[in-house]
Amino acid sequence: MTSLTRRNFVVAAAAGATLAALRPARVFAQARPRVVVIGGGFGGASVARWLRRTDDGIDVTLVERNARFVTCPFSNLVVGGQRSIESISFGYDAVRRAGVDVVQDTATAIDPVARRVTLQGGRVLTYDRLVLAPGIQLVWNGIEGYDEAASDIMPHAWQAGPQTLLLRRKLEAMDDGGLVVVAVPDNPYRCPPGPYERASLIAGYLKANKPKSKLIVLDAKETFSKQPLFQEAWKNLYPGIVEWRPKSQSGRVVSVKAREGVVSTEFDDLKPAVANIIPPQRAGQIAIALGLDEGKGFCTVDPRTFESKVAPGIHLVGDAIVPGAMPKSGFAANSQAKVCARAIVSLLRSRPVEEPILLNTCYSYAATDHGFAIFGAFRPGDTGLIVDIPGTVGTSPLGASAQDRALEARYAESWYSNITADMFA
């Protein structure tokens, strides 16, 4: 893998002479290479920004259906009432100022042979390289009875925005003494520690405002991310409020009757005052429609270029991919996007692709002044999947002082400011 470093040097030394000569024949008709990015979240917005930061000779178009992006990270603070939705919403002005053509539209057709994207508004975009960052879609009826209509009554709030506010309103409207359930799907799903952070922050709201209430986490799994840290926090901060039921203790939700307010696990029927149902997930529809997931729900990519294993010329980043040892997190999507952007520039400029190291740090709040995190550094593995680098994966320690937890909460805030600025400032 290190020979790449030396090869880079050789090509770089001759860069001035080779750029014009080595331009791929495919782009001969255009003066400048063109990249189209579909999806303006952590993955897509980051790819667009980093393409321009790496090589401003490339034309980049970002297609995003919404005028503003609401981040899933920190949206649990909105659910818990500790932060406003405005504070986690971002427009695309700075992305435009960075030279990205941001088109508010939806892609309706992709022709991977002609390298053309058709938008709902009628515009047709041609590309040399296409990047899809569609995130996840929820699998309706993956839990029997849980469809889009049911999500108006039992919100998922797993795509931030109106659903986040709906869940918040339901918690506010609940009487003291009510039961809240948070239903968690089996792996893989977006943001592995997210449901438990949410349970913690809702518990914080209940403790302060509705202290007779209770929260049950109904889990389709036996273990979860940062489990000892969350369980320590629940015991210390929210005794008697949070209960976690793993799959083996009838934790897996198998069906809901939203109108009747019933949530059924394998062995129990619950009638919570507020039900937050996080259903199973798969890659965003555009990736599924193109068959990039090969029927598996998520898409396999080359870990150095993030190019689809199925469709040459199409790259994927973020929650829609099979990420190997990386989690499905906004941080991971951002880290993948930076690698993908540099690889695309290398491919377009006929330079060797570099050997990356990817990072992830997921902060979770158990309370606004109580944070902890999971860390990891990753590289492309020999099997074509992303693997963790030994010794780099770990979490904040158990039994840390209140001051240390408060400091980590401030690290989380700082991280959020920096990563959102990376994309949107």
Binding site for another protein (CB under 8 A): 1-3, 5-6, 8-9, 12-13, 50, 53-54, 247-248, 250, 266-267, 331, 334-335, 338-339, 342, 354-359, 361, 373, 375-379, 389-394, 396, 407-408, 410-411, 413-415, 417-419, 421-422
Distance CA 319, CA 298 (A): 8
- Closest to another protein by CB, 54 vs 89, is 54
Give the containing element (helix H, strand E) for 378.
strand 370-380
Q: How far is the CB of 165 from another protein (least distance, A)?
A: 26
- Closest to another protein by CB, 213 vs 395, is 395
- Using an 8 Å Cβ cutoff, are 179 and 213 in contact? yes
Residue burial 362-393, b: 16+ Cβ < 10 Å; e: rest: bbbbbbbebbbbbebbbbbeeeebbebeeeee
- Using an 8 Å Cβ cutoff, are 245 and 218 in contact? yes
Q: How far is the CB of 225 from another protein (least distance, A)?
A: 15
Three-state DSSP class for residue 301: strand
Query: Strand ranges (DSSP E) for 220-357?
Result: 242-245, 253-257, 262-265, 269-270, 274-277, 281-283, 314-316
- Closest to another protein by CB, 50 vs 238, is 50
* Residues paired with residue 33 on neighbouring β-strands, in sequence order: none
> Which residue's structure tokens are 């598996």?
296
- Closest to another protein by CB, 157 vs 270, is 270
Q: How far is the CB of 166 from another protein (least distance, A)?
A: 30
Q: How far is the CB of 354 from another protein (least distance, A)?
A: 4
- Closest to another protein by CB, 13 vs 22, is 13
Q: How far is the CB of 408 from another protein (least distance, A)?
A: 6
Q: CB-hemisphere CA count at 13 Å for 358?
A: 33
- Closest to another protein by CB, 23 vs 247, is 247
Q: How far is the CB of 404 from another protein (least distance, A)?
A: 8
Distance CA 370, CA 403 (A): 9
